[in-house]
């Protein structure tokens, strides 16, 4: 009988850690291990637990994630696999980027990796829209890309959640207006862009859900594609994908951000006006699902060779 792999979630009391634990808590093929409250800040206890488990999920601030990764590296052959949910290692070439649908064969790279950096929620949508078009030669790498996005407030951590729960945050706001958002390097690198994209995030008064949009002038793209051409390129890239789909876009409809909540689904749509030579690409996802804990569980399944589909519903329950 095969041994059941074990996982330690370092930072399991945060939003992402709690959701990963909730998704995997009843999984018969995985054992979750924890530190006692008294030992959570005890380096010796953490190191000892790292030696016992197969995989450690880092749900920590960036600096703490770097410290935990260094501690694991000191264990040598006894080191567990690492999945980092922070921003700390996403553009580090020694870590594998945890978006399995990035390119053909990338899921196998995640499965073989010892260290995987879980994607950010906003970049998941932007990269999913842009990378296929760059790889297809349709979108020039130096195109002046703009990415606009709105997220539910749970993506902002405990402080932002408290603001909205108290009613002091307001109904909607833009942020990251210094144009130095920490997700930009990741967005640029894995989209395959040579020019740094403009990224303008925002938060609305809803708990979770996300829309990420990219406007395009079609006459500036290689071959002057139509909206249908762009949609076809996305469909070809994600053909056979379990979690990413490209539904037909109805330009007369309203697109809301919350109907995929609770799922690991990522939907991509192309809204276009061929006469005007314009298109808007939109990714829709749950910022806590495919944008965080759902993606983490998907990567955990690949890294441990465990079927986790039951923990990752395709649609909200």
The label of the residue with tokens 């303008």 reads: 200
Across the beta sheet with 31-33, what order do the strands follow?
Answer: 31-33, 6-10, 55-58, 81-84, 115-117, 96-97
- CA-wise closest residue to 60 among 6, 16, 121: 16
Tell me whether residue 121 is one of the annotated catalytic residues: yes
CB atoms within 10 A of CB 200: 15
Q: Which residues have C-beta within 8 Å of that of residue 89, sequence separation ≥ 6?
A: 65, 66, 69, 95, 115, 117
User: Which residue among 55, 121, 130, 270 is the active-site one?
Assistant: 121
Across the beta sheet with 266-273, what order do the strands follow?
Answer: 172-174, 198-204, 146-152, 210-217, 278-285, 266-273, 244-245
Determine contact, residues 264/294, Cβ cutoff 8 Å.
yes
How far is the C-alpha of 174 from the C-alpha of 150, rounded, in Å?
Answer: 9
Q: Which residues are catalytic?
A: 121
């Amino acid at each position: 009988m095969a041994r059941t792999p074990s996982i330690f979630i370092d930072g399991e009391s945060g939003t992402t850690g709690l959701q990963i634990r909730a998704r995997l808590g009843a999984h018969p093929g995985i054992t979750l291990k924890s530190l006692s409250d008294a030992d959570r800040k005890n380096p010796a206890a953490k190191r000892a637990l790292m030696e016992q488990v197969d995989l450690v999920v880092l749900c920590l601030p960036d600096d703490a994630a770097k410290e935990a990764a260094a501690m694991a590296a000191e264990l040598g052959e006894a080191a567990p696999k690492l999945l980092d949910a922070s921003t700390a290692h996403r553009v580090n070439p020694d870590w594998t980027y945890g978006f399995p649908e990035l390119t053909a064969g990338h899921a196998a790279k995640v499965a073989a990796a010892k260290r995987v950096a879980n994607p950010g929620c906003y970049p998941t949508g932007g990269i999913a829209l842009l990378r296929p078009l760059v790889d297809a030669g349709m979108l020039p790498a130096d195109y002046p890309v703009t990415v606009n996005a709105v997220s539910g407030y749970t993506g902002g951590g405990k402080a932002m959640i408290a603001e909205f729960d108290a009613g002091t945050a307001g109904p909607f706001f833009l942020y990251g207006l210094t144009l130095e958002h920490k997700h930009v390097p990741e967005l640029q690198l894995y989209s395959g862009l040579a020019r740094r994209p403009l990224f303008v995030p925002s938060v609305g008064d809803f708990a979770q859900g996300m829309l990420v949009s990219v406007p395009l002038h079609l006459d500036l793209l290689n071959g002057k594609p139509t909206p249908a051409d762009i949609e076809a390129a996305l469909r070809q890239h994600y053909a056979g994908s379990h979690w990413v789909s490209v539904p037909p876009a109805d330009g007369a409809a309203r697109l809301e951000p919350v109907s995929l909540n609770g799922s690991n689904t990522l939907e991509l749509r192309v809204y276009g006006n061929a006469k005007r030579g314009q298109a808007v690409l939109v990714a829709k996802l749950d910022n806590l699902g495919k944008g965080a804990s759902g993606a983490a569980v998907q990567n955990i399944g690949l890294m441990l060779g465990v079927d986790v589909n039951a923990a990752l519903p395709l649609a909200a329950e």
